[in-house]
Amino acid sequence: MAVHGDANAANNAWFQQVLEEQRTELDILRTKYENLQREWDNQQEHLGRLQGEAYKLRNQLQTQSAYCASLGAIMGHLVWKSSRLQSVVELLLSTNKLPEFFCLVTSTLTSFMETYGRDLPDVKTDETQFILSMGGIVSNLAAVSEGRQFIVSDQNGKELIEQIIKLMPTIPTVSGDPLKRILLMVLYNISINQSGIVMIQDQKPLLFALSQMIVSDLTPELKVLALRLLESITFEIPNGLILLKIQQQIPKDRLEILKDSTDAETRQYASNILSNLKKAEASLGKVPLTSTGPGVATYVPYDDCVLAQKAERS
């Protein structure tokens, strides 16, 4: 009996020891859990503060972005309007900031098209107003002989013209019509310059874009502007290669129809283009064409522009 009692006592002692060890381990685990819970709570609290700060910064960034866009639109509006005056253009040409301005316009125009693609924002938005004002300023600079010579002589100016030509076919119809309108004016003014016409005369993207506007009946004003630019491009075709590129891109049959249009400007431009092409086809290889080019540069009609009217009302 004594042996059996000792065995029970030993078993109880062992059980108590195991139970104590498990209690100790449980206390350790409980302590670890509580520490981890406090750490998690602290991290959640810290994360909440960070999210609040991020939200605040995001709102500040959006506010600052909207402010910058509004400021850009306003300043662009003022410079565009004032650049109608030749004296202001001459003053701008006397500064050393125009190359930087051309670079800014190039990057901004590219970014604008990459951001919005085929769905451009409404003309009322600050972003669109800013883009239009930048284009209007360039067009008014190019409306003065010294201004267009500066543009085609400056590396940043040439890159701007090249980018405009590259982007012309990508600008969507309707939502992009105000932008097309101004860029067509830029290119027309540039085409009056001897070096400028060389830059744009054989550019397939431009010829393609012009052909699309000529065959479209959605925007009569763009059709007239495209025809006017094409008249300038075809006035003096220097060689057969350029003539071939023009013939490949421009719908001659459509021009034949347009020369009988009821609109006087459309009729005149279409007839002149056909005459220019006929003259080039007859003359190339015989005598060089030496005429100086058609027309004179024109300013962007700022007060007639939707953008200008919206700005004046605001």
Residue 245's Cβ-count burial label (10 Å; 0-12, 13-18, 19+) is middle
Mean of pLDDT values over 205-230: 93
Q: Quick one: 301 and 164 in the same domain? A: yes
Closest to 112 measured CA to CA, from 157, 62, 185, 175 = 175
What pLDDT band is residue 6 in, cutting at 50, 70 and 90? low
User: Quick check: is 8 in a domain?
Assistant: no
- Tell me the whole-structure pTM to 2 decimals: 0.75
Q: Quick one: 140 and 210 in the same domain? A: no
Q: Quick one: 67 and 181 in the same domain? A: yes
Per-residue pLDDT reduced to its tens digit, 233-257: 999 999 989 999 999 999 999 999 9
User: Quick check: is 238 in a domain?
Assistant: yes
The span from the CA of 183 to the CA of 305, in Å, is: 13
Task: With beta carbons less than 8 A apart as the criterion, state whether 73 and 130 touch.
Answer: yes
Mean of pLDDT values over 266-277: 95
What pLDDT sits at residue 314?
37
Per-residue pLDDT reduced to its tens digit, 148-175: 999 999 999 999 999 999 999 999 988 9
What pLDDT sits at residue 11?
74
> At residue 285, does pLDDT exceed 60?
no
Q: Quick one: 103 and 183 in the same domain? A: yes
Q: Quick one: 266 and 205 in the same domain? A: yes
Residue type, 230: L
The span from the CA of 89 to the CA of 85, in Å, is: 7
The span from the CA of 19 to the CA of 97, in Å, is: 85
- Euclidean distance between the first and the last CA atom of the chain, given in angstroms as a whole number: 109
Per-residue pLDDT reduced to its tens digit, 81-129: 999 999 999 999 998 999 999 999 999 999 999 999 888 999 999 999 9
Q: Quick one: 88 and 153 in the same domain? A: yes
What pLDDT sits at residue 309?
45
Q: Quick one: 285 and 309 in the same domain? A: no
What pLDDT sits at residue 290?
40
CA 257 vs CA 5, 88, 209, 252, 253: distances in Å: 123, 42, 19, 9, 7
Q: Quick one: 94 and 120 in the same domain? A: yes
List, in sequence order, the alpha helices (H) in the chain. 2-82, 86-93, 98-116, 126-142, 145-153, 155-167, 177-191, 194-200, 204-215, 220-235, 240-249, 252-258, 264-283, 306-313
The span from the CA of 233 to the CA of 226, in Å, is: 10
CB atoms inside a 10 Å sphere around CB 244: 12
What pLDDT sits at residue 310?
41
What's the whole-number average pLDDT of the chain? 86
CB atoms inside a 10 Å sphere around CB 312: 11
How many domains does one find in the chain? 2
Q: Quick one: 83 and 133 in the same domain? A: yes
Q: Quick one: 225 and 168 in the same domain? A: no
**Residue owning tokens 């883009």:** 131
Task: With beta carbons less than 8 A apart as the criterion, state whether 179 and 131 touch.
Answer: yes
User: Quick check: is 265 in a domain?
Assistant: yes
User: Quick check: is 24 in a domain?
Assistant: no
The span from the CA of 180 to the CA of 188, in Å, is: 12
User: Quick check: is 245 in a domain?
Assistant: yes
Q: Quick one: 176 and 151 in the same domain? A: yes
The span from the CA of 228 to the CA of 218, in Å, is: 17
User: Quick check: is 1 in a domain?
Assistant: no
User: Quick check: is 96 in a domain?
Assistant: yes
Residue 124: give the domain boundaries. 47-192+297-314
What pLDDT sits at residue 269?
96
Closest to 230 measured CA to CA, from 297, 276, 196, 193 = 276
Q: Quick one: 286 and 312 in the same domain? A: no
User: Quick check: is 258 in a domain?
Assistant: yes
